[in-house]
Amino acid sequence: MVLALVSALALGLGGAVFGVTRGLTAWAARPAHAVVFELGRGKAPEDGALEEAVTSLQEAAAGQGPSARTYGNLALLQLERARRAGPGAPDFAAWIDSAVEAQRAGLSLAPANGSGWARLTYAEKLRAQAPGAAPPGLAAAQALEMSFLTRDLSFSLVRFRLEAALDDWATLRPWLRDAARDEVHELTRYGARGMDALVELYLRSPHPDIIDEELSAEPKQKAYFEKRLARRLKSG
């Protein structure tokens, strides 16, 4: 939020102190940076590094003035812990609950963070993998809607939202189906990378017909998609 000049001057000293505490909090979270970076690259950090990173972020979150990024990274790593351990792990539900709590704290500071809302959707989908658990419910649907509403069009987020929407197609509201259809076209704007993402979604989605329908409106994109699909099937 952009502050008015008078407000900025009135809060100048407080802002400086807050900046120092934020800096100290960021410093405490430093051991987690490499782990978060590796996950962002699609790599799998060692378990020991993951645990150290979680501890550093918990300490940072317990400090003064933790940032939305600190909370979001903590949520991300707690979800990674749960994913790695699997639904049968004793702490599976506790780690997901911790992730949701951290992410909601982060969103209270940065409500337009599309990735934060996407993490809440993922958390509920992960929770539903536990034996006897109910399918993802209202919380997952609401978080997915909020992620769409942020209009963050970064590649990984567009891909995640489209996959989540296709998985839950039958329960989506009409406007959200339209938004998901738009994501097909957004991915085509990423060239080969986006087309390959569409190919993978097409092969594993319960609704590949949605991708077909949207690409049929753009013959050149449809032809390019079919070329990438044939290449993928040939490679196995």
For residue range 103-132, what is the model confidence (pLDDT) as tens digits? 999 999 999 999 999 999 999 999 999 988
pLDDT at 155: 95
The domain that holds 54 is classified in CATH as 1.25.40
Residue 1, in any domain of the structure: no
**Is residue 202 in a domain?**
yes
Quote the percentage of the chain above a pLDDT of 70.
88
Whether 144 and 158 map to the same domain: the answer is no
Q: Is residue 2 domain-resident? A: no
Verify that 159 and 226 share a domain, yes or no. Answer: yes
Shared domain check, 170 and 53:
no
Domain stop point among 114, 130, 150: 150
pLDDT at 17: 32
d(CA 107, CA 116): 7
Q: Which residue segment(s) compose the domain that 157 sits in?
A: 153-236
- The neighbour count for residue 105, using CB atoms within 10 Å, is 18
Identify whether 3 is part of a domain.
no
Q: How many domains does the chain contain in total? A: 2
Q: What is the pLDDT of residue 1?
A: 31
What pLDDT is attached to residue 144? 96
Side-chain-side CA neighbours of 12 within 13 Å: the count stands at 4
> What are 22-56's pLDDT values in tens digits?
554 566 678 789 999 998 888 889 999 999 999 99
What's the CA dihedral at 168, 171, 172, 173 to 10 degrees? 180
**Helices assigned H by DSSP within the chain:** 5-10, 12-28, 30-40, 47-61, 68-85, 92-109, 114-127, 138-149, 155-167, 174-188, 191-204, 208-216, 219-235
Structural domain ending residue among the three candidates 93, 117, 150:
150
Contacts of 133 by beta carbon, 8 Å cutoff, 6+ apart: 87, 127
**Domain boundary residue, one of 150, 173, 191:** 150
The reported pTM is: 0.84
List of the chain residues with pLDDT < 70: 1-28
The predicted structure's pLDDT at residue 43: 87
